[in-house]
Chain A
Amino acid sequence: MKVPLSRIAQARSGDKGEGSNVGVMARSETAYAFLKEHLTTEVVRKHFHAINGAGNVTRYEADNMHVLNFLLSDSLGGGGSASIRTDAQGKTHGLGLLRMELEVPSTVLDATPED
């Protein structure tokens, strides 16, 4: 079934040098295992193509918190005080990622309570 990422995960983002970090927090262990496999750097890089431009995406994992942490290297239009974009700190990038539509198996949905 196609659902937004927000159905199975939470997120928060913020600035990190000239880029931003997006912490994705799965709503269940099953959802975490699914996201580890499907929410790849490539998928996230394409999703943020207009915001991160040609910038890189790096992924870290924290199994203890069911967290995937993505670093977008060039998502702020220049870092800190140099950016003249509205979202110069990447505060909204987390919600931007949660808009992603994903094909999620019903087994994962059944094991993941809605918020």
Chain B
Amino acid sequence: MTKKTVRIANGQGFWGDSILGPVRLMREGPLDYLTLDYLAEVTLSIMQKLRERDPSKGFAVDFVRMIDRVAADLVKKDVKVIANAGGVNPHACKDALLEVLARHGLNDMKIAVVEGDDILDRLDELMAEGEEFRNMDTGEPLSNVRDRVTSANVYLGAFPIAEALGEGARIVLTGRGTDPGLVLGPLIHEFGWGVKDEALLAAGTVAGHIVECGAQCSGGNYTDWRKIPNLAMVGYPIIEANEDGTFHVTKHEGTGGLVTRDTVRHQLVYEMGDPDRYLTPDCIANFASVRLHDEGNDRVRVDGIEGSAATDTYKVSLSYHDGWKATGQLTISGPDALEKARLCADIVWKRLAYDGFEYGPDERMEEYVGSGVCHAGIDGGETTDPPEVVLRMGVKGPDRKKVDRFGSELVPLVTSGPPGVTGFAAGRPKATEIIGFWPALVKKERIPTRVHVFS
């Protein structure tokens, strides 16, 4: 009997990633599964608003467009797709998808929807049962901001995805789930791993973490960037996984980018906390046990991964209205660019104060981009005489009118400030909502999940 290897790629690292990632993965070599991540922490809150205005919205439309481009190949190459594109309206996403598939003559393709993550409508019931949803960073109970909550989604694990694949789904749509779960799900399905196989679940979780940001493990955002060939045509990452939990990280032959021990460990440290305890709903993975073996030719073998049992809680991602913000910018040319930019900022605050609008130190911001903003206070990170500078200013606070008022004092500098002020084409900055992020925990036993299959 030949040993089975399963090829799982990630073609979308975040909401806004290039459509060429998945399109090229479908073209440029063999694959068994294509995974795609469309959700960031505040994405669901935005989607919730879109759905309130129009009940057919609230999911990642990019995903449907992408499927439209690769539909024929999905069948020809027998590739299954797993995406958290459902957002807060997975059934609307499914309907849009069925429409696209029908246009391609693919009427019998099974689509599964994983449900149970969206608990916005259940919040009061869960709070009455004793769930406090205390903020994991500050310890505050959710009751402090309950009336301003705009979305509430549980990070579900990988088992519902495996269940959907077990029922024959070719495309699995989820709402909020963990990013690594998109990869772990198909591994559970293919190899029959169980909830007690903690080391295997940890291995699949590490595999998922390595590819979850797309090209960030294959040469993107890499310290020694000059060493990376052909970033324009960077190959998105592929996991070649084995039943025993070992796997290779690689990319399609002939693509740009680079997969080495160093590019892979760049991604392992990304957004890392305590490496001994990477918590997911499926297991606790130990990143300090990961062994990386560089085999050359864009192949890194990974093994040695240890894990332990998951906790009895899910992480919940809540968002709430947290005030207003506005930012705007002008470009100021030299000579004396920085000195003039400082004068400009001073003028703006003084004119606003004259009109009764004063902003506290935590409510206002000014940056002199080009003189050393990203590395402020760091030796070598700042300069006092840049040839030109971008003056970026902003305010925030609970009062929308006060935030909007700021926006109307930036552009007048063009004619009433020092000379050399330009770059005002974007016009007056307007107040936009600050979406606060509220991480919390909830008991798993209170969160049932469901899998529906359609075709």
Contact B394 A84 (CB under 8 A): yes
Q: Which residue of A lies closest to B277 (CB)?
A: A60
- Residue in A16, A48, A84, A91 whose beta carbon sits within 8 Å of that of B325 in the complex: A84
Asked whether B434 is an interface residue with its Cβ less than 8 Å from the other chain, the reply is: yes
Is B274 in contact with A65, judged by CB distance below 8 angstroms? no
Nearest CB on A from B385, distance (A): 19
Interface code B388-426, partner A: CB below 8 Å = 1, 0 otherwise? 000010111000000000000000000000000000000
Q: What range describes how many residues of A lie at the interface? A: 35 or more
A18 to B362, CA, bound (A): 14
For A63, give the chain B residue with the smallest CB separation. Answer: B288
Interface string of B368-383 (1 = CB under 8 A from A): 0100011111111100
Q: Are B374 and A86 in contact (CB under 8 A)?
A: yes
Cβ-defined contact, A51 with B272, below 8 A: no
A69 to B287, CA, bound (A): 12
Contact in complex: A95, B375 (CB < 8 Å): yes
In the complex formed, the residue of A with least CB distance to B227 is: A115
A-B contact pairs, 22 of them (CB 8 A): A12-B267, A17-B439, A21-B271, A21-B272, A21-B273, A23-B270, A23-B272, A50-B377, A60-B274, A61-B288, A62-B288, A65-B292, A69-B272, A78-B396, A81-B437, A82-B325, A84-B395, A86-B373, A86-B374, A94-B223, A98-B223, A100-B379
Q: Is the CB of A10 within 8 A of B224?
A: yes
- In the complex the two chains form, is B269's CB within 8 Å of A12's CB? yes
B290 touches A6 (CB 8 A): no
B275 touches A51 (CB 8 A): no
Interface residues of A in 79-115 (CB under 8 A from B): 79-82, 84-87, 91-92, 94-96, 98-101, 115
Question: Chain B contacts of A16 at CB under 8 A?
Answer: 271, 273
Q: Which of A25, A62, A81 is within 8 Å of B434, CB to CB?
A: A81
Given contacts A64-B291, A65-B292, A85-B367, contact A48 B374 (CB under 8 A): no
List of B residues within 8 angstroms of A35 by Cβ: none
A37 to B272, CA, bound (A): 21
- Cα of A81 to Cα of B274 in the assembled complex, Å: 24
Question: Contact residues of A with B, CB < 8 Å?
Answer: 6, 10-12, 14-18, 21, 23, 25, 47-51, 60-65, 67, 69, 71, 77-82, 84-87, 91-92, 94-96, 98-101, 115
Q: A71-B273, A79-B437, A80-B435 are in contact. List 18 more A-B contacts (CB 8 A).
A: A6-B223, A12-B266, A12-B269, A25-B269, A47-B378, A48-B377, A50-B377, A64-B304, A65-B292, A81-B42, A82-B325, A85-B367, A86-B367, A86-B374, A94-B223, A95-B375, A99-B375, A99-B380
Whole-angstrom CA separation of A115 from B260 in the bound complex: 13
Closest CB-CB distance, A6 to chain B, in whole Å?
7
Within 8 A of A (CB), among B409-455: 434-437, 439
Chain B residues whose CB sits within 8 angstroms of the CB of A47 once the complex forms? 378
Residues from chain A with a CB closer than 8 A to the CB of B374 are: 86-87, 92, 95-96
Q: Which of B82-125 contact A (CB under 8 A)?
A: none
**Closest Cβ neighbor of A91 among chain B residues:** B221
Shortest beta-carbon contacts, A-B, top 9: A50-B377, A23-B269, A84-B394, A10-B223, A92-B374, A115-B224, A62-B275, A50-B376, A96-B375
Residues of B within 8 A of A94 (CB): 223
Most buried by A among B269, B273, B379, B381: B269
Contacting residues, chain A, for B365 (C-beta < 8 A): 77, 84-85
* B273 surroundings in chain A (CB, below 8 A): 16, 21, 60, 69, 71
Contacts of B270 in A (CB 8 A): 12, 14, 23
Bound form: Cα–Cα A98–B224 in Å: 12
**Assembly CA distance A36 to B134 (angstroms):** 35
Bound-state Cα–Cα, A35 to B309, Å: 33
Give bound CA distance, A12 to B41, whole Å.
20
Contact B272 A80 (CB under 8 A): no
Q: Is B265 an interface residue (CB 8 A)?
A: yes
A17 and B137 form a contact (CB under 8 A): yes
Report the minimal beta-carbon distance from B289 to chain A, rounded to whole angstroms.
7
Using A84-B325, A92-B374 as known contacts, say yes or no to A64 and B224 having CB atoms under 8 A apart: no
Whether the Cβ atoms of A65 and B380 lie closer than 8 Å is no
In the assembly, what is the distance between CA of A82 and CA of B274, in Å? 25
Chain B 246-281 interface 0/1 with A at a Cβ cutoff of 8 Å (1 = within): 000000000000000010011111111111100000
Set of chain B residues within 8 Å of A61, measured between Cβ atoms: 275, 288
Q: Are B42 and A60 in contact (CB under 8 A)?
A: no
B322 on the interface (CB 8 Å rule)? yes
B10 at the binding interface (Cβ < 8 Å): no
Q: Output the least CB separation between A7 and chain B (Å).
A: 11
